[in-house]
Chains A and B, each alone.
Chain A
């Protein structure tokens, strides 16, 4: 075998060719992964007739912003969007506060049976929403939480809560106790060392838990499907199916709503991916 590198091209050139071809492979694979999203964007800006005729050149030629305008101004979209945001905010606050406190207490106080408590919490990681939602439907009915956003916040917290407690528990373990001890030496109480030292250090973990809580609530379909039947209280996920009327689906409007769900998701993975990976590092 003749040696190409070194004789015909330099080592530097060879390295560059390697890195460029690697990038081509990566972007080609990602493009394939993104095809559904690209189709969503095309669908959002196409006329319904063209989409239903199934003619590609007609679809691309039928550019219109009508579906977006219909969705924003002539449907319940804004109501669904607001409900989704309110519920997601509630789930984030509940999950982050509860799991941060729990994480601190579990790390700093020693007691027996910790491993069993850990198993008990992790067991909750596996609970399937639909199977919980059937008994919940009855319990919430008794508590007057059916068809209420607060009830939905509680129900949806069941998904990120075990993950949150677990992540914060592991996260506080990485915060050295020495820093807190130095506060105590200076005469500060444990409350002060928690508030001023431990909490700021655990902030990345809290962000990771917050992201997870937000996305699990934002994505949740099962709980609102079972627990919410009033249209004005629907979040986006169950609201989306309202654009299909009796087997007739306004596909361009559906795609427009999907696009409004994809955009915040993309902003999140782009700007907060460091925290996201941080959180999953703790889980595994």
Chain B
């Protein structure tokens, strides 16, 4: 660290360095100026990439705008009501709910068990943890492509193995059938995102002191009792937080579903984000797509109220 910074320092003439040190010392001394200097980059970036697009979506939703036509035509807030009552939107919302809750239930079970498995110290634990955390780092688009390849009806390895073992008689197009497409996307998507639950849980598990377990052993607790009375109370909250965040994120998941099915077969896996993408970039109706986005931001705000009530993350901020 210091070697690097010394080299950088050596590149700059001493006079400039002293001068900038003096200026920054002056800025940092005053509370208000310090706050301005520190917060401006972060808040400016935050407003540009998150707040501005959100407000823009609300404004845009009141107009008829096409990607092909630069003229904005005022339509008014009636548009939002139209979207809410449209069958396509409601169906997509329902599918988002199914996809969100279904995959999160799956992710919690897999993710927490995985965390419990690799938490203990043993030879090769670092490698085991690296392997367990790997899926979260692999891009969703890569997972989607691999999933498509492995699940293919003609030459996919999963069909080959299932037929060889005798579970299936004929190959099944898992992603092409209305009955199986949604469930399949859920499972493949969860391969990656279960590991987010693992990450949060593992981080918490690693901070439980070993002597808690030793104490429980002394008192004659068996493995199940130790889990119930020592582990579970300490990870309960983390699991809840992970579930709340993950449900919302899966609800709005775009990439993995888009890569694997493009929303098909038919509209079977068209969740809200795929519906919005379809409207914006295939039907060229940016106004309506912005309306969908605006409605989803309202939904998001409602969900975040629940999240803030339950998790109370802002309590971590120290106010001295």
In the complex with contacts A29-B117, A105-B37, A122-B314, A191-B42 CB distance below 8 A = no
Q: Are A34 and B45 in contact (CB under 8 A)?
A: no
Q: Are A54 and B35 in contact (CB under 8 A)?
A: no
In the complex with contacts A125-B245, A157-B45, A261-B139, A36-B52 CB distance below 8 A = no
A131 CB to closest chain B CB (Å) equals: 4
Contacts of A236 in B (CB 8 A): 139
Q: Are B245 and A130 in contact (CB under 8 A)?
A: no
Given contacts A189-B29, A280-B199, 15 further A-B contacts (CB under 8 A): A33-B191, A51-B155, A105-B34, A119-B308, A124-B46, A127-B300, A134-B293, A135-B54, A135-B56, A158-B50, A241-B145, A269-B137, A277-B203, A281-B206, A284-B242
Q: Are B304 and A54 in contact (CB under 8 A)?
A: no
**Which residues, 31 to 53 on A, are CB-close (under 8 Å) to B?**
33-34, 36-37, 39-40, 43, 51-53
Is A17's beta carbon under 8 Å from chain B?
no
Docked pose: A215 CA to B281 CA in angstroms: 27
Q: When A and B form their complex, which 4 residue pairs have the shortest distance between CB atoms, in order from nearest? A: A105-B38, A128-B252, A54-B155, A265-B137
B143 CB to closest chain A CB (Å) equals: 7
Which residue in B49, B122, B133, B139 is a CB contact (below 8 Å) of A237? Answer: B139
Contacts of B320 in A (CB 8 A): 110
Is B227's beta carbon under 8 Å from chain A?
no
Contacts of B259 in A (CB 8 A): 221, 241
Q: Are B130 and A138 in contact (CB under 8 A)?
A: no
**Which residues, 79 to 106 on A, are CB-close (under 8 Å) to B?**
94, 97-99, 101-102, 104-106
Is B108's beta carbon under 8 Å from chain A?
no
Docked pose: A283 CA to B237 CA in angstroms: 12
Is B8's beta carbon under 8 Å from chain A?
no
A193 CB to closest chain B CB (Å) equals: 9
**Which residues, 199 to 222 on B, are CB-close (under 8 Å) to A?**
199-200, 202-204, 206-207
**Which residues, 90 to 137 on B, are CB-close (under 8 Å) to A?**
114, 117-118, 120, 122-124, 126-137
B214 CB to closest chain A CB (Å) equals: 15
Contacts of A126 in B (CB 8 A): 245, 248-249, 300, 303-304, 307
Query: A: which residues have CB within 8 A of B?
Result: 19, 22-23, 25-27, 29-30, 33-34, 36-37, 39-40, 43, 51-54, 56, 94, 97-99, 101-102, 104-111, 114-115, 118-119, 121-132, 134-139, 154-155, 157-158, 161-162, 165-166, 169-170, 173, 189-192, 194, 200, 203, 215, 218-219, 221-222, 225-226, 236-238, 240-241, 249, 251, 254-255, 257-258, 261-262, 265-266, 268-270, 273, 276-278, 280-281, 283-284
Which residue in A54, A56, A134 is a CB contact (below 8 Å) of B280? Answer: A134
Is B297's beta carbon under 8 Å from chain A?
yes
Contacts of B120 in A (CB 8 A): 22
Q: Are B146 and A36 in contact (CB under 8 A)?
A: yes
Docked pose: A26 CA to B238 CA in angstroms: 23
Contacts of A170 in B (CB 8 A): 316
Contacts of A138 in B (CB 8 A): 56, 60, 65, 286
Q: Are B39 and A261 in contact (CB under 8 A)?
A: no
In the complex with contacts A37-B134, A124-B50, A203-B118 CB distance below 8 A = no
Q: Are B303 and A134 in contact (CB under 8 A)?
A: no
Q: Are B117 and A161 in contact (CB under 8 A)?
A: no
Docked pose: A224 CA to B229 CA in angstroms: 47
Q: Are B203 and A33 in contact (CB under 8 A)?
A: no
In the complex with contacts A26-B117, A277-B203, A221-B38 CB distance below 8 A = no
Which residue in A23, A131, A157, A219 is a CB contact (below 8 Å) of B273? Answer: A131
Q: Are B138 and A262 in contact (CB under 8 A)?
A: yes
Docked pose: A141 CA to B319 CA in angstroms: 42
Docked pose: A283 CA to B54 CA in angstroms: 24
What secondary structure prevails in chain B residues at the interface with A?
helix
Which residue in A139, A173, A241, A269 is a CB contact (below 8 Å) of B53? Answer: A139
Nearest CB in chain A to that of B238: its residue: A284
Which residue in B28, B122, B147, B281 is a CB contact (below 8 Å) of A189? Answer: B28
Q: Name 9 interchain pairs, CB-CB below 8 A, sorted by A.
A: A29-B117, A37-B138, A54-B159, A101-B42, A105-B39, A157-B45, A221-B140, A222-B254, A265-B137
Is B149's beta carbon under 8 Å from chain A?
yes
Contacts of B318 in A (CB 8 A): 107, 173
Instruction: Identify which of A36, A118, A119 gathers the most chain B CB atoms within 10 Å of its CB.
Output: A36
Is B180's beta carbon under 8 Å from chain A?
no
Is B277's beta carbon under 8 Å from chain A?
yes
**Which residues, 138 to 185 on B, are CB-close (under 8 Å) to A?**
138-143, 145-147, 149-150, 154-157, 159-160
Q: Are B49 and A161 in contact (CB under 8 A)?
A: yes
Docked pose: A170 CA to B159 CA in angstroms: 48
In the complex with contacts A115-B319, A284-B238, A203-B1 CB distance below 8 A = yes
Contacts of B297 in A (CB 8 A): 131
Nearest CB in chain A to that of B117: its residue: A26
B198 CB to closest chain A CB (Å) equals: 10
Q: Are A29 and B155 in contact (CB under 8 A)?
A: no
Docked pose: A37 CA to B133 CA in angstroms: 13
Q: Are B204 and A284 in contact (CB under 8 A)?
A: yes
Contacts of A127 in B (CB 8 A): 50, 54, 300
Contacts of A129 in B (CB 8 A): 254
